[in-house]
Amino acid sequence: MNSATQIGRLTEPEAPDAELDLAGSAPDPLTIGRRVRHVRQEAGRTLGDVADAIGISPSALSLIETGKREPRLSVLAALAKVLDASVQDFLSSAPPSRRAALEIRLEKAQRQESYEALGLPKVKVGPRLPDEALEALVGMHEAMASAQADSAATPEHARRANGELRERMRAADNYFGDIEAEAATLLKAINHPGGPISRAAVDRLAGHLGYKLIHTSDLPGSTRSVSDLRNKRIYLPQPEAGQHDSRSLAMQAVGHHVLGHRPPADYSEFLSQRVEINYFAAALLMPEKDTVALLRTAKQDKDIAIEDLRDAYAVSYETAAHRFTNLATRHLGIPVHFMRISQEGVIYKAYENDGIVFPSDATGAIEGQRVCRQWTARRVFDQPDLTQAYQAYTDTRSGTYWCTAVVDRTSAGSFSVNVGVPYQHVKWMRGRDTQERSVSRCPDPACCTAPPQPLAGRWDGQAWPSARVHSHLLAAMPPGVFPGVDDTEIYAFLDKHAPTD
Ligand SMILES: [Zn+2]
């Protein structure tokens, strides 16, 4: 839209001057007003004098000059004539002077909703405002805006935060000794005898920390649990049949308090806290000492299997697989990789310290990328029996890996959970005798991304799919200290459930 049609549409439906071609960047009323005032002052004319000359009231001209009213083109033409200027002089999008440019920036900053939300007074932008003060205010507004933009979790920020976190986990071999120690201390305090943690043990654990666990069916939809810090209660969803382990949710909620978490300052801290509470819950469900003993014996027998961990501790395959990655490198000297991908091959979660090269975008982010069709994590979906773990060797550009994968069916679709080790470490793993083998030549497009001939020959240029957007991966992160959580909803929930005394 050019300036002429814009102004015509807003203030003058009949638009007699619309034939004026004013293409280019459309100036806003504020800039136009500043330019009018600048030209008038340069000409040494008063507001009243000029208003009289073009037949409008001084207050109307003042509204135009302060950008509060969009001038008609006919008014601009009249002004141009009286001030011996051209309409183009007013419609240029460049501010007439540095001072005017600063005034425009301050006006705009003070009109931002984010500034209004602060409830602070607006500084009157006029000739009495000293240059220095103007300069300082504009500088502060713009610094504040860029700080806000930095902490807002755009997909770009989320990707970067994920990348940094993965880097930290890899540097630590995905093992966090301080969290292991917290978990061990707690288990000792409730005299846990070892083995799986029962619901009753989880209650005792929370009780030891002064918290009461309450299951409720009306937990706010944007949350997995809510803690009432005043009354020391933790609200959890009702455990439903087939649902994920409610013990995990309880221990994750407890984890925030044990690990001394503060409200996250930004998205990256939010993510770190998520990783820490997941780790903490896993360290309670599968205590380090016992789990490592079990794994060491299995290693001696050259018979390590994720299934055995899963069954010994009554956890999901994914929890067992994840826990294996925590302990395998530190205690068994085995580098590993872990992946959770959708049936379409899209990475949701991944970790490696064994050199496998995940597909990544230009920023180095891997979430949302698609892994090679030849990888075990994808081939598992083609297996006739999806209830069984599937094992295979894959030659990749970074070496040969052996992987074991299972399919996890959820209400959000099917996912595969995959754990793998480099070829030289497969001797410790059960399932290494598999005959399944594949070759991945990705990122060579001829591997699996480019359609094969003659299929491509028949359909190239003749297909137009309408894509389903992966909104969960690509949309901006929801706002808020706890992303996407509505404070009003949480406070109302706590009010409703708080003990009356
Ligand atoms: Zn491929």
Q: What is the mean pLDDT of each run of 10 residues along the chain (501 residues)?
A: 36 35 61 88 88 91 88 90 88 80 87 83 87 90 75 68 86 94 94 86 92 90 88 87 70 91 84 92 94 96 95 92 96 96 90 92 80 95 90 95 94 92 96 95 87 84 72 52 74 84 66
pLDDT at 344 (0 to 100): 87
- How high is the pLDDT of residue 392? 97
* Rounded CA separation 443/450 (Å): 10
Question: What's the gap in Å between 417 CA and the centre of ligand 1?
Answer: 18
Q: Regarding beta strands 399-410 and 233-237, do their DSSP bridges make them parallel or antiparallel, or are they unpaired?
A: unpaired
CB 414 within 8 A of CB 290: no
CA of 449 to the centre of ligand 1 (A): 6
pLDDT of residue 403: 97
- C-alpha of residue 382 to centroid of ligand 1, in Å: 15
Are 349 and 365 in contact, with CB atoms under 8 Å apart? no
User: What pLDDT is attached to residue 245?
Assistant: 67
In this prediction, residue 456 carries a pLDDT of 85
d(CA 275, CA 115): 34
Separation of 339 CA from ligand 1 center, angstroms? Answer: 16
Centroid of ligand 1 to alpha carbon of 342 (angstroms):
16
CA–centroid distance, residue 448 to ligand 1 (Å): 4
* Residue 470, both tokens: 């992966």
What is the whole-number distance in angstroms between the Cα of residue 390 and the centre of ligand 1?
A: 19
What pLDDT score was predicted for residue 207?
A: 94
> How far apart are the CA of 337 and the centre of ligand 1, in A?
18
What pLDDT does residue 151 have?
Answer: 56
**pTM value?**
0.68
Q: Rounded to the nearest whole angstrom, what is the distance from the C-alpha of residue 306 to the centroid of ligand 1?
A: 26
As a whole number of Å, the CA-based R_g of the chain is 32
What tokens were used for 34?
A: 């500043």
Torsion angle of the four alpha carbons 305, 341, 266, 170, in this order, in degrees rounded to the nearest 10: 40
Q: How far is the CA of 446 from the centre of ligand 1 (A)?
A: 8
Separation of CA 447 and ligand 1 centre (Å): 4
Strand, coil or helix: what is 216? strand
What pLDDT score was predicted for residue 3?
39
43: CA distance to ligand 1 center in Å? 71
Judge whether 87 and 73 are in contact, CB under 8 Å. Answer: yes
Closest CA to 440 of 404, 392, 397: 397
Q: How far is the CA of 361 from the centre of ligand 1 (A)?
A: 16
End-to-end CA distance of the chain: 63
- Residue 275 C-alpha to ligand 1 middle, in angstroms? 30
Class of residue 485 by CB neighbours under 10 A (exposed 0-12, middle 13-18, buried 19+): middle
Residue 26 confidence (pLDDT): 64
Rounded CA-CA distance 120/100 in Å is: 23
